[in-house]
Amino acid sequence: MRTPDELRDLVERYLEELALTPELGGLEEAVRYGIVGGKRIRAVICLAVGEAVGAEPERLLPAAAEPERLLPAAAALELVQAFSLVHDDLPALDDDAERRGRPSVWAAYGEDVAILAGDALLAEAFRLALSYPNSGVARELAQATLGMIGGQYLDVKGETADLARLHRLKTGALFSASVACALAAANVPEREQAPWRAFGDELGLLFQIVDDILDGDGYAAAEGAERARELSDDAAARAQARLADVDGDTSVLEEIVAGLAARTS
């Protein structure tokens, strides 16, 4: 089993070496700029789930046994995440001129190029997801993307009264997909997926609450910092409990959950 850091390095190298569609031409520079940076949490989760289900010897899934086989799915998740950030940063949406300490894509390349670069990131994500023999990875990705867009719409329109629904869409959908895409890529049978999917749902909630605690908004603003910390501890405990329900070596995923709960940036 590889450590989370080793899995992250794998993703990072894969994204750096990823060949984009030649037809994008000069747009490629802005697309690559939009991929740089970030902790690759979603990709790491995807690879770790792949290792966990592949590590069960009696299942004999060669596709899942090597994390390399999960890399297109993991990278596709990061491209969808990058697509959403590139578009959300636009002046008409969140109007963020900075992202991860440097100009956001529109600030660096102009709004026109940023709109097209975001579109290209989404289409490239599907191209990668469609490199599997079955279409399950791409299906999970489409569903998650539509959820994210619905969540961003609620946010843009200020319909933030139902914070749980907003976050389930805006953040949770892609975390759940990080798990679901690994299951699809590894051909885990439907009947064995329930505890894994429950795990994915808890992960998204955990990530969001900790995010809000670090930023002092969302759950932390609505419930107070102390109560938000209780909520994140509960989500982490439920995520660990779900891992206890699945077959396979989940030690790396347990470490990821603990890391998400304890993260300070």
Closest CA to 169 of 188, 197, 185, 150: 150
Residue 204: HSE in the Cβ half-sphere, 13 Å Cα cutoff: 26
Which residue in the set 111, 215, 233, 245 belongs to the binding site for a copy of itself (CB under 8 A)? Answer: 111
Name the one range near a copy of itself by CB under 8 A: 155-163, 175-183, 193-201, 227-235. 155-163
d(CA 81, CA 38): 10
Residues making up the chain, counted from first to last: 265
156 touching a copy of itself, by CB under 8 A: yes
206 touching a copy of itself, by CB under 8 A: no
Helices (H) and strands (E) in the chain, counts: 14, 2
- Please give the distance of CA 209 from its chain centroid, rounded to a whole number: 15
Name the one range near a copy of itself by CB under 8 A: 60-68, 84-92, 208-216, 239-247. 84-92
- At its nearest, how many Å lie between a copy of itself and the CB of residue 186? 17
Pairing relationship of beta strands 102-103 and 98-99 according to DSSP bridges: antiparallel
d(CA 22, CA 176): 31
87 touching a copy of itself, by CB under 8 A: yes
Which residue in the set 23, 58, 158, 161 belongs to the binding site for a copy of itself (CB under 8 A)? Answer: 23
Q: Where does the chain show beta strands of DSSP type E?
A: 98-99, 102-103
Instruction: Name the amino acid, one letter, at 112.
Output: D
Which residue in the set 4, 67, 118, 218 belongs to the binding site for a copy of itself (CB under 8 A)? Answer: 118
Number of residues that bind a copy of itself (CB under 8 A): 47
124 touching a copy of itself, by CB under 8 A: yes
126 touching a copy of itself, by CB under 8 A: yes
The dihedral formed by the CA atoms of 210, 215, 218 and 222, expressed in degrees to the nearest 10: 100
Maximal C-alpha separation, the chain: 53
Q: Choose between 26 and 101: whose C-beta lies nearer to a copy of itself.
A: 26
Which residue in the set 127, 163, 234, 254 belongs to the binding site for a copy of itself (CB under 8 A)? Answer: 127
164 touching a copy of itself, by CB under 8 A: no
Residues found near a copy of itself in the complex (CB under 8 A): 21, 23-27, 83, 87, 90, 92-93, 110-113, 115-116, 118-120, 122-124, 126-127, 130, 132, 134-135, 138-139, 142-143, 145-147, 149-154, 156-157, 159, 169, 173
